[in-house]
Amino acid sequence: MSEAERIAEIPSVDFVDSLSRIVGGNHVFTDPADMSGYVTDWTGQYSGTAIAVVRPSDVSQVSAIVKLCGSAGIAIVPQGGNTGLAGGGVPSTSTPSIVMSLSRMNTIRHFDEAGRTVVVEAGVVLEVLQEHALKRDLLFPLTFGAKGSCTIGGNLATNAGGSNVVRYGNTRELCLGIEAVMPDGSIINTLHGLRKDNTGYDLKDLLIGAEGTLGIITAAVFKVFPRPLTRVTAFLSMASVDAALCTLNRIQDRTGQSVEAFEYVPQPVLTAIEKAFPDIKSPLQGAVETGVLLEVGSSRVSDAKTDDTGSTHLTTEVLTILEELMEAGDIVDAVIAQSEQQRSDLWRLRESVLESIMEYGASYHFDISLPLANISAFLEAMDATATELGFETLTIGHLGDGNLHYALVSPDRDKWQSLPLDQAKHKAFELLKSLNGSFSAEHGIGQSKLDVMRALKQPEQLNSMRAIKRALDPQNLMNPGRLVPMTE
Protein backbone atom coordinates (compact mmCIF):
# COMPACT_ATOMS: atom_id res chain seq x y z
CA MET A 1 0.00 0.00 0.00
CA SER A 2 1.35 3.42 -0.89
CA GLU A 3 1.83 6.11 1.75
CA ALA A 4 -1.00 8.15 0.23
CA GLU A 5 -3.36 5.14 0.33
CA ARG A 6 -2.43 4.58 3.93
CA ILE A 7 -3.22 8.20 4.79
CA ALA A 8 -6.53 7.96 2.91
CA GLU A 9 -7.53 4.90 4.94
CA ILE A 10 -7.12 6.64 8.26
CA PRO A 11 -10.48 7.04 9.98
CA SER A 12 -9.58 10.60 10.91
CA VAL A 13 -12.95 11.72 12.26
CA ASP A 14 -13.35 8.70 14.54
CA PHE A 15 -9.76 8.99 15.55
CA VAL A 16 -10.06 12.67 16.42
CA ASP A 17 -13.28 11.95 18.33
CA SER A 18 -11.46 9.33 20.32
CA LEU A 19 -8.67 11.79 21.10
CA SER A 20 -11.29 14.30 22.27
CA ARG A 21 -12.86 11.70 24.52
CA ILE A 22 -9.48 11.16 26.17
CA VAL A 23 -8.39 14.78 26.73
CA GLY A 24 -11.55 16.85 26.16
CA GLY A 25 -12.43 18.62 22.89
CA ASN A 26 -10.74 21.87 23.92
CA HIS A 27 -7.39 20.16 23.96
CA VAL A 28 -7.45 18.69 20.47
CA PHE A 29 -6.66 21.05 17.60
CA THR A 30 -7.33 20.14 13.97
CA ASP A 31 -7.72 23.59 12.44
CA PRO A 32 -4.53 24.42 10.46
CA ALA A 33 -4.42 27.89 12.05
CA ASP A 34 -4.47 26.38 15.56
CA MET A 35 -1.87 23.80 14.61
CA SER A 36 0.53 26.14 12.79
CA GLY A 37 2.74 26.90 15.81
CA TYR A 38 3.18 23.17 16.44
CA VAL A 39 4.08 21.95 12.96
CA THR A 40 6.96 24.32 12.16
CA ASP A 41 10.15 24.37 14.19
CA TRP A 42 11.94 27.30 15.87
CA THR A 43 14.36 27.78 12.98
CA GLY A 44 11.52 27.88 10.44
CA GLN A 45 13.47 25.30 8.43
CA TYR A 46 11.34 22.26 9.19
CA SER A 47 7.61 22.08 8.66
CA GLY A 48 5.13 19.21 8.39
CA THR A 49 1.50 18.24 8.74
CA ALA A 50 -0.47 16.61 11.53
CA ILE A 51 -3.88 14.99 11.81
CA ALA A 52 -4.24 16.78 15.15
CA VAL A 53 -2.38 18.42 18.00
CA VAL A 54 -3.36 16.88 21.32
CA ARG A 55 -2.61 18.25 24.77
CA PRO A 56 -2.97 15.66 27.55
CA SER A 57 -3.00 16.73 31.19
CA ASP A 58 -1.74 13.59 32.92
CA VAL A 59 0.16 10.38 32.39
CA SER A 60 -2.95 8.20 32.10
CA GLN A 61 -4.16 10.38 29.21
CA VAL A 62 -0.73 10.07 27.55
CA SER A 63 -0.95 6.30 27.90
CA ALA A 64 -4.49 6.18 26.46
CA ILE A 65 -3.40 8.30 23.46
CA VAL A 66 -0.38 6.08 22.81
CA LYS A 67 -2.62 2.97 22.88
CA LEU A 68 -5.14 4.65 20.55
CA CYS A 69 -2.39 5.63 18.10
CA GLY A 70 -1.00 2.09 18.26
CA SER A 71 -4.32 0.59 17.22
CA ALA A 72 -4.86 3.23 14.50
CA GLY A 73 -1.27 3.02 13.20
CA ILE A 74 -0.71 6.74 13.66
CA ALA A 75 2.67 8.16 14.62
CA ILE A 76 3.25 10.41 17.62
CA VAL A 77 5.59 13.39 17.66
CA PRO A 78 6.11 14.50 21.28
CA GLN A 79 6.65 18.22 21.69
CA GLY A 80 7.66 20.48 24.55
CA GLY A 81 8.55 24.12 23.91
CA ASN A 82 9.39 23.52 20.24
CA THR A 83 12.76 25.25 20.64
CA GLY A 84 14.78 22.25 19.41
CA LEU A 85 17.33 23.09 16.73
CA ALA A 86 17.43 19.72 14.94
CA GLY A 87 13.89 19.54 13.54
CA GLY A 88 13.04 16.62 15.85
CA GLY A 89 9.86 17.94 17.44
CA VAL A 90 7.74 18.63 14.35
CA PRO A 91 5.96 16.11 12.11
CA SER A 92 6.91 15.20 8.57
CA THR A 93 4.63 15.60 5.57
CA SER A 94 4.64 11.92 4.63
CA THR A 95 3.72 10.00 7.79
CA PRO A 96 0.25 10.28 9.31
CA SER A 97 1.00 11.74 12.73
CA ILE A 98 -0.28 13.65 15.68
CA VAL A 99 1.74 16.15 17.67
CA MET A 100 1.49 15.47 21.37
CA SER A 101 2.20 18.68 23.25
CA LEU A 102 3.13 18.09 26.89
CA SER A 103 2.62 21.76 27.75
CA ARG A 104 -0.36 21.14 30.06
CA MET A 105 1.65 18.72 32.17
CA ASN A 106 3.34 21.57 33.99
CA THR A 107 3.10 20.76 37.69
CA ILE A 108 6.05 20.71 40.05
CA ARG A 109 4.86 17.69 41.98
CA HIS A 110 7.19 17.48 44.94
CA PHE A 111 10.20 19.20 46.45
CA ASP A 112 12.31 17.11 48.83
CA GLU A 113 14.40 19.63 50.77
CA ALA A 114 16.24 16.97 52.77
CA GLY A 115 17.05 14.81 49.75
CA ARG A 116 17.70 17.90 47.59
CA THR A 117 15.52 16.57 44.78
CA VAL A 118 12.52 17.86 42.86
CA VAL A 119 9.87 15.95 40.88
CA VAL A 120 8.56 17.87 37.87
CA GLU A 121 6.27 17.12 34.97
CA ALA A 122 7.57 17.18 31.41
CA GLY A 123 5.82 20.40 30.38
CA VAL A 124 7.39 22.56 33.09
CA VAL A 125 9.32 25.40 31.46
CA LEU A 126 13.01 25.31 32.42
CA GLU A 127 13.03 28.86 33.80
CA VAL A 128 10.02 28.09 36.01
CA LEU A 129 11.93 25.23 37.61
CA GLN A 130 15.03 27.41 38.04
CA GLU A 131 12.93 30.04 39.86
CA HIS A 132 11.14 27.44 41.96
CA ALA A 133 14.50 26.14 43.20
CA LEU A 134 15.83 29.67 43.85
CA LYS A 135 12.83 30.44 46.08
CA ARG A 136 14.06 27.59 48.27
CA ASP A 137 17.60 28.94 48.17
CA LEU A 138 18.66 26.07 45.91
CA LEU A 139 19.92 25.91 42.34
CA PHE A 140 18.68 23.96 39.33
CA PRO A 141 21.73 24.57 37.17
CA LEU A 142 20.62 23.67 33.64
CA THR A 143 20.48 26.92 31.68
CA PHE A 144 20.70 28.33 28.16
CA GLY A 145 19.13 30.92 25.85
CA ALA A 146 15.81 29.11 25.33
CA LYS A 147 15.16 28.68 29.08
CA GLY A 148 11.99 30.82 28.98
CA SER A 149 10.31 28.50 26.43
CA CYS A 150 11.93 25.06 26.44
CA THR A 151 10.55 22.37 28.72
CA ILE A 152 11.94 19.71 30.98
CA GLY A 153 10.63 16.94 28.68
CA GLY A 154 12.46 18.43 25.69
CA ASN A 155 15.59 18.98 27.81
CA LEU A 156 15.61 15.31 28.76
CA ALA A 157 14.72 14.05 25.28
CA THR A 158 17.63 15.98 23.77
CA ASN A 159 19.94 15.59 26.80
CA ALA A 160 20.36 19.36 26.67
CA GLY A 161 23.63 20.95 27.75
CA GLY A 162 24.02 24.72 27.95
CA SER A 163 26.26 27.01 29.91
CA ASN A 164 26.73 25.27 33.26
CA VAL A 165 27.72 21.79 32.07
CA VAL A 166 31.35 22.51 32.91
CA ARG A 167 30.37 22.34 36.59
CA TYR A 168 27.09 20.40 36.92
CA GLY A 169 26.94 18.15 33.84
CA ASN A 170 24.25 17.92 31.18
CA THR A 171 20.58 17.02 31.71
CA ARG A 172 21.33 13.31 31.99
CA GLU A 173 23.68 13.93 34.89
CA LEU A 174 21.08 16.01 36.73
CA CYS A 175 18.30 13.42 36.43
CA LEU A 176 17.77 10.64 38.97
CA GLY A 177 14.66 9.02 37.50
CA ILE A 178 11.76 9.40 35.10
CA GLU A 179 8.14 8.55 34.53
CA ALA A 180 7.45 7.66 30.91
CA VAL A 181 4.91 6.08 28.62
CA MET A 182 6.44 3.37 26.47
CA PRO A 183 5.38 2.69 22.86
CA ASP A 184 2.91 -0.02 23.99
CA GLY A 185 1.21 2.46 26.32
CA SER A 186 2.66 0.98 29.52
CA ILE A 187 3.84 3.43 32.17
CA ILE A 188 7.27 3.09 33.74
CA ASN A 189 8.08 4.95 36.93
CA THR A 190 11.51 5.47 38.47
CA LEU A 191 10.68 8.67 40.34
CA HIS A 192 12.01 7.38 43.67
CA GLY A 193 14.97 9.77 43.64
CA LEU A 194 17.48 7.08 44.56
CA ARG A 195 21.10 7.95 43.99
CA LYS A 196 22.04 4.30 43.78
CA ASP A 197 19.87 1.70 42.06
CA ASN A 198 21.64 -1.09 40.20
CA THR A 199 18.62 -3.16 39.23
CA GLY A 200 19.21 -3.86 35.59
CA TYR A 201 19.20 -1.87 32.39
CA ASP A 202 18.78 1.84 33.08
CA LEU A 203 15.63 2.70 31.13
CA LYS A 204 15.93 6.31 32.27
CA ASP A 205 19.25 6.62 30.45
CA LEU A 206 17.77 4.92 27.40
CA LEU A 207 14.97 7.48 27.11
CA ILE A 208 17.16 10.50 27.91
CA GLY A 209 18.59 11.67 24.59
CA ALA A 210 16.22 9.39 22.62
CA GLU A 211 14.41 12.44 21.17
CA GLY A 212 10.99 10.87 21.67
CA THR A 213 11.78 7.77 19.58
CA LEU A 214 11.43 5.26 22.43
CA GLY A 215 8.64 6.71 24.54
CA ILE A 216 7.18 9.85 26.03
CA ILE A 217 8.73 11.27 29.17
CA THR A 218 5.96 12.60 31.41
CA ALA A 219 7.89 13.51 34.58
CA ALA A 220 11.36 13.37 36.10
CA VAL A 221 13.16 13.69 39.39
CA PHE A 222 16.19 15.99 39.41
CA LYS A 223 19.01 16.86 41.77
CA VAL A 224 19.17 20.43 43.04
CA PHE A 225 22.28 22.07 44.40
CA PRO A 226 23.33 24.65 46.99
CA ARG A 227 22.77 28.12 45.58
CA PRO A 228 26.03 30.01 45.10
CA LEU A 229 26.31 32.71 47.77
CA THR A 230 28.71 34.69 45.65
CA ARG A 231 29.67 34.82 42.00
CA VAL A 232 32.34 36.45 39.89
CA THR A 233 31.30 37.12 36.31
CA ALA A 234 33.85 38.46 33.88
CA PHE A 235 34.51 38.92 30.21
CA LEU A 236 38.05 38.06 29.17
CA SER A 237 40.03 38.68 26.03
CA MET A 238 42.74 36.06 25.72
CA ALA A 239 45.69 35.52 23.45
CA SER A 240 44.41 32.25 21.97
CA VAL A 241 42.08 29.32 22.58
CA ASP A 242 44.97 27.44 24.17
CA ALA A 243 45.59 30.38 26.51
CA ALA A 244 41.88 30.31 27.36
CA LEU A 245 42.03 26.63 28.27
CA CYS A 246 45.10 27.26 30.41
CA THR A 247 43.13 30.04 32.16
CA LEU A 248 40.21 27.67 32.74
CA ASN A 249 42.41 25.05 34.36
CA ARG A 250 44.22 27.61 36.50
CA ILE A 251 40.94 29.00 37.85
CA GLN A 252 39.51 25.50 38.41
CA ASP A 253 42.62 24.43 40.35
CA ARG A 254 42.64 27.52 42.55
CA THR A 255 38.90 27.74 43.28
CA GLY A 256 38.11 24.08 43.91
CA GLN A 257 36.45 23.47 40.52
CA SER A 258 34.09 26.43 40.93
CA VAL A 259 33.90 27.54 37.29
CA GLU A 260 30.21 27.52 36.36
CA ALA A 261 30.50 28.83 32.83
CA PHE A 262 33.29 29.31 30.31
CA GLU A 263 31.63 30.54 27.14
CA TYR A 264 33.47 31.35 23.92
CA VAL A 265 32.39 34.63 22.26
CA PRO A 266 35.07 35.89 19.81
CA GLN A 267 35.17 39.30 18.11
CA PRO A 268 33.29 38.44 14.88
CA VAL A 269 30.37 37.24 17.02
CA LEU A 270 30.50 40.38 19.20
CA THR A 271 30.28 42.42 16.00
CA ALA A 272 27.28 40.39 14.80
CA ILE A 273 25.55 40.88 18.17
CA GLU A 274 26.13 44.67 18.07
CA LYS A 275 24.67 44.71 14.56
CA ALA A 276 21.56 42.69 15.48
CA PHE A 277 21.01 44.30 18.90
CA PRO A 278 22.37 47.89 18.81
CA ASP A 279 21.67 48.31 22.56
CA ILE A 280 24.12 45.52 23.41
CA LYS A 281 27.72 46.74 23.50
CA SER A 282 30.94 44.75 23.49
CA PRO A 283 32.11 44.61 27.14
CA LEU A 284 35.72 45.55 26.28
CA GLN A 285 37.24 48.51 24.45
CA GLY A 286 39.01 47.50 21.25
CA ALA A 287 39.01 44.21 19.41
CA VAL A 288 38.74 41.06 21.48
CA GLU A 289 41.05 38.17 20.66
CA THR A 290 39.63 34.98 22.16
CA GLY A 291 36.61 36.28 24.08
CA VAL A 292 35.25 34.29 26.99
CA LEU A 293 32.39 34.90 29.39
CA LEU A 294 33.59 33.45 32.68
CA GLU A 295 31.45 32.78 35.71
CA VAL A 296 32.78 31.38 38.98
CA GLY A 297 30.37 30.63 41.83
CA SER A 298 30.77 29.48 45.39
CA SER A 299 28.36 28.46 48.13
CA ARG A 300 31.08 28.66 50.78
CA VAL A 301 30.46 31.34 53.40
CA SER A 302 34.19 32.12 53.53
CA ASP A 303 34.22 32.91 49.79
CA ALA A 304 31.29 35.32 50.22
CA LYS A 305 32.97 37.29 53.06
CA THR A 306 34.00 40.81 52.08
CA ASP A 307 37.25 42.61 52.89
CA ASP A 308 37.82 46.33 53.69
CA THR A 309 37.41 47.30 50.02
CA GLY A 310 34.04 45.56 49.79
CA SER A 311 35.35 42.75 47.55
CA THR A 312 34.42 39.17 48.36
CA HIS A 313 37.15 36.65 49.02
CA LEU A 314 36.21 34.89 45.77
CA THR A 315 36.56 38.12 43.76
CA THR A 316 39.97 38.79 45.26
CA GLU A 317 41.10 35.24 44.49
CA VAL A 318 39.87 35.38 40.88
CA LEU A 319 41.42 38.83 40.40
CA THR A 320 44.77 37.54 41.63
CA ILE A 321 44.67 34.67 39.16
CA LEU A 322 43.65 36.96 36.29
CA GLU A 323 46.50 39.37 37.10
CA GLU A 324 49.00 36.51 37.09
CA LEU A 325 47.70 35.34 33.72
CA MET A 326 47.86 38.89 32.37
CA GLU A 327 51.49 39.10 33.38
CA ALA A 328 52.13 35.77 31.65
CA GLY A 329 50.52 37.16 28.48
CA ASP A 330 47.63 34.65 28.38
CA ILE A 331 45.00 37.27 29.20
CA VAL A 332 45.02 40.47 27.15
CA ASP A 333 42.17 42.35 28.81
CA ALA A 334 39.34 41.67 31.25
CA VAL A 335 36.29 43.29 32.79
CA ILE A 336 34.55 42.04 35.92
CA ALA A 337 30.84 42.69 36.49
CA GLN A 338 30.47 45.09 39.43
CA SER A 339 26.73 44.67 39.92
CA GLU A 340 23.89 42.25 39.25
CA GLN A 341 22.89 44.52 36.35
CA GLN A 342 26.33 44.23 34.76
CA ARG A 343 26.22 40.47 35.24
CA SER A 344 22.85 40.19 33.56
CA ASP A 345 24.07 42.44 30.71
CA LEU A 346 26.93 40.00 30.08
CA TRP A 347 24.50 37.07 30.08
CA ARG A 348 22.11 38.91 27.78
CA LEU A 349 24.99 39.32 25.34
CA ARG A 350 25.74 35.59 25.52
CA GLU A 351 22.12 34.60 25.10
CA SER A 352 21.62 36.84 22.07
CA VAL A 353 24.24 35.00 20.09
CA LEU A 354 22.08 32.54 18.16
CA GLU A 355 19.54 35.14 17.07
CA SER A 356 22.38 37.48 16.04
CA ILE A 357 23.95 34.82 13.83
CA MET A 358 20.59 34.00 12.23
CA GLU A 359 20.08 37.72 11.62
CA TYR A 360 23.55 38.12 10.10
CA GLY A 361 22.70 36.22 6.94
CA ALA A 362 22.37 32.71 5.57
CA SER A 363 24.05 30.14 7.80
CA TYR A 364 24.80 26.49 8.45
CA HIS A 365 25.39 25.49 12.08
CA PHE A 366 27.59 22.69 13.32
CA ASP A 367 27.02 21.58 16.92
CA ILE A 368 30.23 19.68 17.57
CA SER A 369 32.52 18.64 20.39
CA LEU A 370 36.23 17.96 20.60
CA PRO A 371 38.77 16.96 23.20
CA LEU A 372 39.84 20.30 24.73
CA ALA A 373 43.40 19.86 23.48
CA ASN A 374 42.20 19.59 19.84
CA ILE A 375 39.96 22.65 19.69
CA SER A 376 42.51 25.11 18.35
CA ALA A 377 43.67 22.61 15.69
CA PHE A 378 40.07 22.26 14.48
CA LEU A 379 39.47 26.01 14.44
CA GLU A 380 42.68 26.75 12.61
CA ALA A 381 42.14 24.17 9.88
CA MET A 382 38.40 24.72 9.49
CA ASP A 383 38.61 28.53 9.44
CA ALA A 384 41.21 28.29 6.67
CA THR A 385 39.03 25.92 4.62
CA ALA A 386 35.93 28.06 5.15
CA THR A 387 37.69 31.21 3.98
CA GLU A 388 39.12 29.40 0.98
CA LEU A 389 35.63 28.22 0.01
CA GLY A 390 34.14 31.71 0.33
CA PHE A 391 32.39 31.44 3.70
CA GLU A 392 32.61 33.65 6.74
CA THR A 393 32.50 31.93 10.11
CA LEU A 394 30.81 32.85 13.37
CA THR A 395 31.83 30.48 16.12
CA ILE A 396 30.67 30.40 19.70
CA GLY A 397 30.62 27.60 22.18
CA HIS A 398 30.64 26.15 25.62
CA LEU A 399 34.43 26.13 25.55
CA GLY A 400 34.83 24.48 28.94
CA ASP A 401 32.97 21.43 27.57
CA GLY A 402 34.83 21.36 24.25
CA ASN A 403 31.50 22.16 22.54
CA LEU A 404 31.60 24.53 19.58
CA HIS A 405 28.64 25.97 17.71
CA TYR A 406 30.52 26.59 14.50
CA ALA A 407 28.53 28.49 11.87
CA LEU A 408 29.41 28.94 8.23
CA VAL A 409 27.75 32.18 7.19
CA SER A 410 27.31 34.63 4.38
CA PRO A 411 25.70 38.04 4.78
CA ASP A 412 24.74 37.77 1.11
CA ARG A 413 21.78 35.36 1.03
CA ASP A 414 21.87 35.12 -2.79
CA LYS A 415 25.58 34.32 -2.90
CA TRP A 416 24.97 31.61 -0.26
CA GLN A 417 23.19 29.42 -2.83
CA SER A 418 26.37 29.13 -4.91
CA LEU A 419 28.76 28.41 -2.02
CA PRO A 420 30.11 24.83 -1.79
CA LEU A 421 28.40 23.87 1.49
CA ASP A 422 28.72 20.12 0.97
CA GLN A 423 32.46 20.47 0.46
CA ALA A 424 32.78 22.50 3.66
CA LYS A 425 30.69 19.98 5.60
CA HIS A 426 32.79 17.12 4.25
CA LYS A 427 35.98 18.84 5.41
CA ALA A 428 34.52 19.57 8.85
CA PHE A 429 33.44 15.97 9.41
CA GLU A 430 36.78 14.69 8.15
CA LEU A 431 38.58 16.99 10.59
CA LEU A 432 36.31 15.95 13.44
CA LYS A 433 37.06 12.30 12.78
CA SER A 434 40.80 12.84 12.72
CA LEU A 435 40.64 14.94 15.92
CA ASN A 436 38.38 12.49 17.83
CA GLY A 437 35.42 14.85 17.87
CA SER A 438 31.66 14.30 17.70
CA PHE A 439 29.35 15.63 14.97
CA SER A 440 26.53 16.19 17.46
CA ALA A 441 27.26 17.61 20.90
CA GLU A 442 24.05 18.81 22.53
CA HIS A 443 21.24 19.74 20.14
CA GLY A 444 20.48 16.22 19.01
CA ILE A 445 20.11 14.55 15.63
CA GLY A 446 16.40 15.12 14.89
CA GLN A 447 16.01 15.16 11.14
CA SER A 448 18.75 17.70 10.46
CA LYS A 449 21.63 15.30 11.03
CA LEU A 450 20.05 12.00 10.07
CA ASP A 451 22.22 11.71 6.95
CA VAL A 452 25.37 12.48 8.95
CA MET A 453 24.33 9.90 11.54
CA ARG A 454 23.90 7.29 8.80
CA ALA A 455 27.25 8.14 7.23
CA LEU A 456 29.44 8.68 10.27
CA LYS A 457 28.14 6.82 13.30
CA GLN A 458 29.92 3.53 13.86
CA PRO A 459 27.79 0.90 12.02
CA GLU A 460 27.95 -1.50 14.99
CA GLN A 461 26.45 1.17 17.26
CA LEU A 462 23.79 2.06 14.68
CA ASN A 463 22.78 -1.60 14.43
CA SER A 464 22.36 -1.86 18.20
CA MET A 465 20.26 1.31 18.19
CA ARG A 466 18.05 -0.08 15.40
CA ALA A 467 17.60 -3.32 17.35
CA ILE A 468 16.51 -1.39 20.46
CA LYS A 469 14.12 0.74 18.44
CA ARG A 470 12.55 -2.31 16.73
CA ALA A 471 12.21 -4.19 20.02
CA LEU A 472 10.52 -1.36 21.91
CA ASP A 473 8.60 0.26 19.06
CA PRO A 474 7.87 -2.51 16.53
CA GLN A 475 5.28 -0.39 14.72
CA ASN A 476 7.77 2.52 14.41
CA LEU A 477 5.22 5.04 15.65
CA MET A 478 7.29 6.97 18.19
CA ASN A 479 8.69 10.00 16.39
CA PRO A 480 9.63 7.96 13.29
CA GLY A 481 12.32 9.16 10.92
CA ARG A 482 14.16 10.97 13.70
CA LEU A 483 17.49 10.25 15.41
CA VAL A 484 18.11 6.68 14.17
CA PRO A 485 18.27 6.09 10.42
CA MET A 486 16.43 2.76 10.22
CA THR A 487 17.87 1.86 6.81
CA GLU A 488 21.55 1.65 5.89
Long-range contacts of 424-430 (CB under 8 A, 24+ apart): 424/364, 424/385, 424/386, 424/389, 424/391, 425/364, 427/382, 427/385, 428/366, 428/368, 428/382, 428/385, 429/455, 429/456
Among 177, 212, 266, 400, binds ligand FAD (CB under 6 A): 212
- Residue 4's CB is within 10 A of a number of other CB atoms, namely 9
Instruction: Select 392 or 442, whichever has its Cβ closest to ligand FAD.
Output: 442
For β-strands 362-369 and 259-264, DSSP reports them as: unpaired
Question: In whole angstroms, how close is the CB of 103 to ligand FAD at the nearest point?
Answer: 9
Instruction: Select 260 or 289, whichever has its Cβ closest to ligand FAD.
Output: 260
Question: In whole angstroms, how close is the CB of 184 to ligand FAD at the nearest point?
Answer: 15
**Site size for ligand FAD (CB under 6 A):** 37
- Residue 449's CB is within 10 A of a number of other CB atoms, namely 23
Q: Considering the rule CB under 6 A, would residue 84 count as an interface residue with ligand FAD?
A: yes
Site residues (CB under 6 A) for ligand FAD, limited to 376-395:
none
**Selection from 409, 187, 397 nearest residue 292 by Cα:** 397
String of contacts with ligand FAD for each residue 330-369, x by CB under 6 A: ------------------------x---------------
Written as one letter, the residue type at 210 is A
String of contacts with ligand FAD for each residue 139-158, x by CB under 6 A: -----xxx---xx-xxx-xx
Q: Considering the rule CB under 6 A, would residue 262 count as an interface residue with ligand FAD?
A: no
Residues 251, 245: Cα–Cα separation, whole Å:
10
Q: What is the DSSP letter of 47?
A: B
Q: Considering the rule CB under 6 A, would residue 472 count as an interface residue with ligand FAD?
A: no
**Selection from 208, 181, 1 nearest residue 105 by Cα:** 181
Beta bridge partners of 178: 220
Instruction: Select 216 or 404, whichever has its Cβ closest to ligand FAD.
Output: 216
**CB-closest chain residue to ligand FAD:** 154
Question: In whole angstroms, how close is the CB of 200 to ligand FAD at the nearest point?
Answer: 22
Q: Considering the rule CB under 6 A, would residue 211 count as an interface residue with ligand FAD?
A: yes
Residues 81, 151: Cα–Cα separation, whole Å:
5
Residues that bind ligand FAD (CB under 6 A): 42, 77-85, 88-89, 102, 122, 144-146, 150-151, 153-155, 157-158, 160-162, 211-212, 216-217, 354, 442-443, 446, 479, 482
